[in-house]
Amino acid sequence: MLQFKMLFPLLNCLVLFHLITRGGSYAIKGCEVHGQYNLKVLCYNRNLTKVPTQLPPLTFELDLSHNNIKSINRRDFQNLTIIQKLNISNNNIEYIENGTFANLAALELLNLTRNMISSLSRCTFEGLQNLSTLLLDNNNIVTIEPKALSHLFNLQSLSLSFNSFYKLKTLNPVFQLESLKEINIANCSLQSFSTEDIVKVSPTLHSIDASRNPFSVISFTTNILQNLTTLDVSFSQLPILWYVKESCFLSGLKKLNIKGNNIKPPAIMGIIKNLSCSSLEELNLGYLNLTDSDNLIQELCLRHLKLQTLKLTGNQYTEFKKDTFQNCTFIKVLDLSHNRVHCAPGSTFQHLTSIRELSLANNSLVALPDDLPLMASLQKLNLSYNHLTEVNFKNSSSNLKELDLSGNKMTVFLSSTQGNWSLQDLNLRENYLLDISTSFASSLSMLQRLTLSKNKLSSISTNTFQNLTFLKHLNLADNQIEVIDPGAFNGLDNLYTLIMGSNKITRNTLHNMTFQGLGSLHELQLFGNYLNYDSSNYLDIVPFFPLKYLRMITLNSQGHNGMQNLPINFFEGLVALEKIHAGNLALSSIDSRTFSYTPHLRELDISENPFKRLDPFLLKNVQYLTELHLSQTRIETLDFLIQSNMTHLQLLRAVGSQLNSFTAQQYAALPSLRFLDLQNNPLTCNCDNQWFIDWVHNDTKTQVLHFYEYTCAYPPAAKNTKLSAFNISSCRLDYTFILFLTSTLFIMTFLISATVWNFWRWHLIYAYYITLAYVYNRKWQGKKQKCKYDAFISYNCHDEKWVFSQLVPNLEGSYNWRLCLHHRDFEPGKAIVENIVDGIYSSRKTICIISRHYLESEWCSKEIQLASFRLFEEHTDVLILLFLEQIPDHQLSLYHQIRKLIKKKTYLIWPQERNATCMFWYRVNQALQTEEREEDPNCLM
């Protein structure tokens, strides 16, 4: 195992190097691919019924969740040898073929949550030697075979919650995993939790989540779990009998969660006493209907001096006695949220000298705790959703860094001009604040994040934030701000983010002093306001000129009738701007000079605007643009990009526009394009998109997102069909004129040929043969002499045995005829056809050995053709036909030349009876003896 771990990184590098050299299209049905080498493939929520094919071999992370996959097999992932994360959750997987994960040696996380798996067999997880996290929650698992998880040598975290095991014994194969550190068996219908049911536990196991099981008994009668540090048995609902035979059986326990159980305070007190040998650091006693009269807190803190986190959320506490937390001097985190606490007198938390986090959220407090200024160690205080109406920080000092006062009923928030507060994060969201002009005194000078969203502010006065010199994030969204006085943001020299969306800001709100003092601002959000301009003419007053370091501005979704026009110099002064979100502004056009003030623009979103075209020079000055969003517009063509010099553009999104095609010329203008999204456009299923379809399937650099979901809008017959299904083979060339010309010539030729054939066919046939005879006569003129052979033998190689066992011995041996055999007498090196012609014309006769093989042979056909030419040329009887078998007339009809000959000449058939062969050879000899004479159609051989 150790050797494998040492070799694995080297093996991974070698595989990666090999795969990088391999190419492949990005067009994967139902998936998106992100990244270049460590690919993240996203195929979630696509209604897939099976794992997509052709997944990139360089996939490091694959997400197939939220689909309708019912089974997976070994072919699905066989090429993903370097994948590390695989998510197949939220499907309907019932069957996993053995060996499905055999090639996934690099996999570290496998998520099979929310499927229909019913059992785990021995070979289910074979090959997953490096798997560290396995999630099998929300399945139908009932049984686990003893060796089902034996291949998972490195498994550290296993989650089996929301299955149906019923008995803890069923999980023994799980507890025995050597490297297991934590296991989740929540909501598995377990009836009891007893160490007697556990045979063996890995010494590395330190965390068990057994919450939401209907336990009636929780017993620790052996020390098998003495190394356990975290135990969650919360929300059991049934009355529980808790039994610990010896307190040191859980000596390693540090975190215990028993919230939401049906346990009475005396029983809880018993549990606390039984864990006296444990060094508890965190205890959750939430939702147990506890009150201060139960005296549990005092006893708990007295017996467990190392306790640091105590969660008492969801109980019935209304107030606390002075000595309630007297023994809790080591408590660092105290959660009292969702109780009924209505007051916190000065002595309530005085003993919590080590407290760092205190939550009193969702209670009934009407004032800040009186102890607050004295809690020197407190750093985080949550008082959200109480009944506070007014907050006034008194003259004092505190180390508090985070204060959450959201969801109260404050109309006034005041802070002292003296004191030394360390507050860094103040949340005043969702209150009723009307005026904050005097709210932030010098005591809050260390504040870095201030949230004032969802209040009733209508204006921001001059110097409101002048004391917040270290503030970095200011959220004023969802108010009613329509007036911003000059110098309102004075003092915010370090502000990084300003959110003013969803207010009532108009063009009159913005003036040249509006953003004075925001020299370091990087992000400005003005979405959802009421900015509107009558024309795109130059503005007399430029609102953003002081924001020379601004990187991002958000203007989308302006109220009423939208922005309508974008002034030419609207972005003047924003020389560092990199991102503009200007969607849904009712813009019908944008002047080509608008972005001349933003030379470093990287991302532009002008989606959901009704323009049909864009000026070709609109983006000429933003050559570093990497993202362009044009979705939900009326743009009909992307030709404006051709002259825009977009050499750095990587993402182009034009979803739901009016595009019909994407051309090679447009793509050539975008040499760095990596992602293209043209969903829901009225694309045409014709040859206009031939290049686009072919490019998508073959390009390895640019990924067309959701390509297999693109549908056609034209022609009508192809409406709503998939663009990917369009057959582009007919578009390779424009055949229209060629087909017209060819058809015309063919028809004319056919008519002329039919006419000539009908009236002069015999003349043509006669002329053909006369010409042929003339050619051969010229060739052989003057060469006529005594023939070298008596007969040329034309036969097929399949009949060679008969030729040499019957024909040659009889004709050469018995009758002394000289035969020309092609394998014996052909001249080496000479062309085959020439050898055949020489053989036929050097012989007195030509003997054709006819069989089915002979009829199918191309060379035999040529031989009999040449013999027929000689017959026609010399008008002599030179052809002898020998049939080795009876061939029906309907089969001969396929071979015109033979059929024509046997109609004119009689022929010999090789007899089946042995006694008749002598007569056969006698008649062949007789045919060879006949002198060459003029051919007679009725002659007999």
DSSP codes of every residue in 492-541: -TT--EEE--SS---TTT--TTTTTT-TT--EEE-TTS----S-SSPPSS
Please state the three-class secondary structure of 249-292 as a single string.
HHCCCCEEECCCCECCHHHHHHHHHHCCCCCCCEEECCCCCCCH
DSSP conformation letters of 28-59: -TT-EEESSSSEEEE-TTS--SSPPSS--TTE
What per-residue confidence (pLDDT) applies to 268? 94
Q: Alpha carbon of 616 to those of 133, 379, 621, 637, 642: distances in Å?
A: 53, 56, 11, 11, 8
Q: Rounded to 5 degrees, what angle do the CA atoms 308, 313, 319 make?
A: 95
Mean pLDDT value of segment 531-552: 95
What per-residue confidence (pLDDT) applies to 859? 67
Q: Indicate the angle between helix axes 296-303 and 265-274, nearest 10 degrees.
A: 0
Q: Where are the alpha helices (DSSP H) in 781-893?
A: 800-802, 808, 822-825, 832-841, 852-856, 858-874, 889-892
What per-residue confidence (pLDDT) applies to 843? 85
SS3 810: helix
What per-residue confidence (pLDDT) applies to 941? 31
Instruction: Assign 59 a pLDDT band (cuts: 50, 70, 90).
Output: very high
DSSP conformation letters of 282-324: EEE--SS---GGG-HHHHHHHH-TT--EEE-TTS------TTT
Q: Tell me if domain 1-155 and domain 634-648+656-751 are identical in fold.
A: yes
What per-residue confidence (pLDDT) applies to 892? 65
Secondary structure letter of residue 604 according to DSSP? E
> Is pLDDT at 891 greater than 60 in this prediction?
yes
For 799-828, how does the pLDDT look when each residue is reduced to its tens digit (9 = 90+)? 888 888 888 898 888 888 898 988 788 888
Find the range with the poorest average confidence among 45-54, 176-185, 641-650, 720-729.
720-729
Q: Which residue has the higher pLDDT, 920 or 158?
A: 158
Q: Alpha carbon of 592 to those of 76, 476, 564, 644, 670: distances in Å?
A: 51, 33, 16, 11, 19
For 130-158, how does the pLDDT look when each residue is reduced to its tens digit (9 = 90+)? 999 999 999 999 999 988 998 899 999 99
Euclidean distance between CA atoms 763 and 782, whole angstroms: 29
What per-residue confidence (pLDDT) applies to 16? 42
Instruction: Assign 315 a pLDDT band (cuts: 50, 70, 90).
Output: very high
What per-residue confidence (pLDDT) applies to 793? 87
Mean pLDDT value of segment 688-717: 90
**Among residues 663, 649, 616, 654, which one has the least CA distance to residue 634?**
654
* Most confident of the ranges 43-47, 832-836, 875-879: 43-47
> Is pLDDT at 34 greater than 50 in this prediction?
yes
Mean pLDDT value of segment 660-683: 94
Q: Which residue has the higher pLDDT, 192 or 888?
A: 192
For 561-582, how does the pLDDT look when each residue is reduced to its tens digit (9 = 90+)? 999 999 999 999 999 999 999 9
What per-residue confidence (pLDDT) applies to 628? 97
What per-residue confidence (pLDDT) applies to 789? 86
> Is pLDDT at 781 greater than 70 in this prediction?
no
Q: Alpha carbon of 166 to those of 186, 198, 453, 667: distances in Å?
A: 12, 14, 49, 61
Secondary structure letter of residue 376 according to DSSP? T
For 484-508, how does the pLDDT look when each residue is reduced to its tens digit (9 = 90+)? 999 999 999 999 999 999 999 999 9
Tell me the Ramachandran region of residue 295: left when phi exceeds 0, alpha when psi lies from -120 to 50, beta otherwise.
left
Mean pLDDT value of segment 113-124: 93
> Is pLDDT at 28 greater than 70 in this prediction?
yes
> Is pLDDT at 660 greater than 90 in this prediction?
yes
For 346-388, how does the pLDDT look when each residue is reduced to its tens digit (9 = 90+)? 888 989 999 999 999 999 999 888 887 778 899 999 999 999 9
Pick the CATH number of 634-648+656-751 from 1.10.3210, 3.80.10, 1.10.10, 2.60.40: 3.80.10
Instruction: Assign 14 a pLDDT band (cuts: 50, 70, 90).
Output: very low
Q: Which residue has the higher pLDDT, 18 or 478?
A: 478
What per-residue confidence (pLDDT) applies to 624? 94
What per-residue confidence (pLDDT) applies to 3? 44
On average, the pLDDT of the chain sits at 87
Mean pLDDT value of segment 278-303: 94
> Is pLDDT at 896 greater than 50 in this prediction?
no
Euclidean distance between CA atoms 598 and 775, whole angstroms: 86
- 791-929: what fold? Rossmann fold (3.40.50)
What per-residue confidence (pLDDT) applies to 9? 45
Give me the residue spans of the domains in the chain. 1-155, 634-648+656-751, 791-929
Instruction: Assign 20 a pLDDT band (cuts: 50, 70, 90).
Output: very low
Q: Which residue has the higher pLDDT, 724 or 417?
A: 724
SS3 219: strand
Mean pLDDT value of segment 10-34: 57
What per-residue confidence (pLDDT) applies to 936? 44
Q: Which residue has the higher pLDDT, 783 or 748?
A: 748
Mean pLDDT value of segment 742-758: 84
pTM, two decimals, is 0.75
CA-CA-CA-CA torsion sign (607, 610, 616, 620): negative
pLDDT > 90: percent of the chain: 61
Find the range with the poorest average confidence among 111-120, 845-854, 860-869, 927-936.
927-936
Instruction: Assign 932 a pLDDT band (cuts: 50, 70, 90).
Output: low
Q: Where are the alpha helices (DSSP H) in 715-791?
A: 736-780
pLDDT > 70: percent of the chain: 88
Which CATH superfamily is 1-155 part of?
Answer: Ribonuclease Inhibitor (3.80.10.10)
Q: Indicate the angle between helix axes 832-841 and 858-874, nearest 10 degrees.
A: 40
> Is pLDDT at 908 greater than 80 in this prediction?
yes
What per-residue confidence (pLDDT) applies to 399? 86
> Is pLDDT at 885 greater than 60 in this prediction?
yes
> Is pLDDT at 10 greater than 50 in this prediction?
no
> Is pLDDT at 103 greater than 90 in this prediction?
yes
3-state helix, strand, coil in the chain (%, to 5): 25, 15, 60
